[in-house]
Amino acid sequence: MTELVNGKGLTLIPKTDAKQTLKDFKSDQEVRWCPGCGDYAILAAVQSFLPELGLRRENIVFVSGIGCSSRFPYYLNTYGFHSIHGRAPAIATGLAASRPDLSVWVITGDGDALSIGGNHLIHALRRNVNLNILLFNNRIYGLTKGQYSPTSEVGKITKSTPMGSLDKPFNPISLALGAEASFVARTLDSDRKHLQSVLREATAHRGTSLVEIYQNCNIFNDNAFEPLKDPEVRDEITLRLEHGQPIASATKAVVRAAGGGIEVVPRAEAADDRILVHDAHRPDPSLAFALSRLDEPSFEHVPIGIFRQVDRPAYDVLMAEQLDEAVAQKGPGDLGGLLMGGDTWRIG
């Protein structure tokens, strides 16, 4: 097992001794999602999780793009910036890079993050800016009333695709790992305990943490993740990823395949020492990537949990170090000296 020296995600952010509760993080604004939307569960999970961090509330900022999920910041009594479609990672990057004392969260959806904002997302991930990105994936466009999204399955019948969608969806986890994100996880809107355990690790991680949250849109794509919630089958198909633990469900196990990859076999067929033990801290992302492909193309078995969690210097810290180094080399900036710095001459 690779050991991690990170977990310092919060050290630069001021703490409070005051006791905080869920109520402290509720804003006075009426929540306006559709009744039954998965967003309610995520909001409640985040609001009840934040007090645990013990951070000064004023040092927390939620930045969002456009979409149903992007209304999130209005409902939290922290600083918030509801921006424009797809651009939240860019705006949050400027904020987090210039303010290492802030806990900056990005709230985004599958359309916002992976279609219009895809470029900003991958670049935030590769830079490793200190952001917690919560990607609410409901595999549909909600706010524009039901068009297929970049995570919708092929053949999706929607208003804009009456004969079925043609394009292959993105797998957000594979995409994030491809961009060499340092923290990549998947969780579920309805599993508050798991969701909060992932948030705990994500906030402890200094750098970009991408958390995909399977979120149900009960209006336009109801029950998209039902198998993961159905007590009859969920324990069979859910492959919990826990660092240092074998990757297996009640009936299935992940093992090394003969060809060099990995495969899912009936648990009964896999001896305990054959079952792959999850190492989220592996510097090489290829095994995490292989895990992210296990649910393709169907929902037969779905890994949930932290795929990858590795140490990499955070962008804001590196940026601040360069400023310090410049001061160490040249002394603090002197405007008069700068202007006089070229070839000058005197007249009169």
Interacting residue ranges for other proteins, rule: CB under 8 A: 14, 27, 29, 56-61, 63, 66, 73-74, 77-84, 87, 90-99, 101-102, 119-120, 123, 319, 322-323, 325-327, 329-333, 335-336, 338-340, 342-348
Minimum CB distance to other proteins smaller for 162 or for 332: 332
As given in the structure block, the two tokens for residue 223 are 């029950």
Q: Where are the alpha helices (H) located in 99-242, listed in sequence order?
A: 110-111, 118-127, 172-178, 192-204, 226-229, 234-237
Minimum CB distance to other proteins smaller for 71 or for 281: 71
- What does the alpha-carbon distance between residue 317 and residue 50 come to, in Å, rounded to a whole number? 23
- What does the alpha-carbon distance between residue 234 and residue 188 come to, in Å, rounded to a whole number? 12
Residues in the chain: 348
The nearest distance, CB 218 to other proteins, in angstroms, is: 23
Cβ neighbors of 339 (< 8 A, separation 6 or more) are none
The nearest distance, CB 262 to other proteins, in angstroms, is: 32
Q: In degrees, to the nearest 5, what angle opens at C-alpha 51 toward C-alphas 48 and 54?
A: 160
The nearest distance, CB 318 to other proteins, in angstroms, is: 11
Minimum CB distance to other proteins smaller for 277 or for 338: 338
Minimum CB distance to other proteins smaller for 72 or for 225: 72
Beta strands at 252-256 and 262-266: parallel, antiparallel or unpaired: antiparallel
Minimum CB distance to other proteins smaller for 60 or for 237: 60
- What does the alpha-carbon distance between residue 115 and residue 49 come to, in Å, rounded to a whole number? 29
Residues linked to residue 263 through DSSP beta bridges, in sequence order? 255
The nearest distance, CB 39 to other proteins, in angstroms, is: 16
Computed on alpha carbons and rounded to an integer, the radius of gyration of the chain in Å comes to 22
The nearest distance, CB 30 to other proteins, in angstroms, is: 10
Minimum CB distance to other proteins smaller for 106 or for 213: 106
Q: In degrees, to the nearest 5, what angle opens at C-alpha 17 toward C-alphas 14 and 19?
A: 120
The nearest distance, CB 103 to other proteins, in angstroms, is: 10
The nearest distance, CB 305 to other proteins, in angstroms, is: 29
Which H or E run includes 284? Answer: none
Minimum CB distance to other proteins smaller for 90 or for 113: 90
- What does the alpha-carbon distance between residue 325 and residue 308 come to, in Å, rounded to a whole number? 32
